[in-house]
Amino acid sequence: MLDKTLILKYYYILKILLQFINLKQEFVLKTHPKHCLDYLIWPLLKLFWEPFSKKESHFWHWRKYNTPISKIRGTLIPADFNAHSRRGGILRLLWETNFGWQKIAILEPANYEGLYQIVYSAQEISSLNQLCIYQEKCSLMLRGKVAVQIGPQDTYFYMISFPEGYLLEQKLPVLIKKEKLRDIILI
């Protein structure tokens, strides 16, 4: 059985390290809903993975979002035709969404200071010529500007106030290369 003082020491050391790493990210407060991997794996990813990939959201943060959304309220980001599809297995998905997609869109809510979450909606033709529709919400609760990756499909991005669930208006996006991203969270 583990000693409680050892667990507390480990917890405080991790907390200090995460605060040091997360200084520029004060607008990421928490996730909703919580997932056990937020406690088990995320601290290790913060230390050993995110400094290289620069991406702060992970597969367990993205969940299907079945609520219909009007495309009028979203921000359409055109496809990056140099980006490769994320289809082809888990390793391909991890590579493309962490290192492969190099163009970034910076999004910001207009006239809103509270917490919000991001939803994206994209369509893709599968290898069997079937239409695949992705619509997922990120469980990270955000405030201020956020950077999103641009993949090989035209994608709509939405900001939803937390906890109310209202669609928020957005400022015009700024498009940049991933290597120029500074002091803005990339999800």
Task: Write down the H helix ranges in 88-187.
Answer: 90-95
Summarize pLDDT for 115-143 with one digit per residue, the tens.
999 999 988 766 677 777 788 999 888 99
CA distance 53 to 49: 6
Kindly state whether residue 147 falls inside one of the protein's structural domains: yes
Q: Could you list the beta-strand ranges (E) of the chain.
A: 62-64, 75-77, 103-107, 116-125, 131-138, 146-149, 155-161, 167-168, 174-177
Would you say residue 187 lies in a domain? no
Q: Read off the pLDDT of residues 50-72 as tens digits, 9 standing for 90 and up.
A: 777 778 888 888 889 888 887 77
Q: Which residue has the higher pLDDT, 20 or 162?
A: 162
3-class DSSP state for residue 166? coil
Output the pLDDT for position 16.
Answer: 66
- Is residue 51 in some structural domain? yes
Interatomic CA distance for residues 134 and 121, integer angstroms: 6
Q: Is 150 among the domain residues?
A: yes
Which of 75, 95, 74, 96 minimizes the C-alpha distance to 85? 96
Domain of 103, in residue numbers = 4-180
Q: Could you report the per-residue pLDDT of 147-178, keeping only the tens digit for each?
A: 999 988 899 999 999 888 889 999 989 888 88
Residue 132 CA to residue 130 CA, distance in Å, equals: 6
Structural domain total, the chain:
1
Output the pLDDT for position 94. Answer: 79
Is residue 113 within 8 A of residue 1, CB to CB? The reply is no
Q: What three-state secondary structure class fits 181?
A: coil
Which residue, among 168, 171, 150, 148, has the nearest Cα to 159 in the 3D structure? 168
First vs last C-alpha separation in the chain: 37
Which letter does DSSP use for residue 155 in this model? E
Please count the other Cβ atoms lying within 10 Å of the Cβ belonging to residue 11. Answer: 11
Indicate whether 186 belongs to any domain.
no
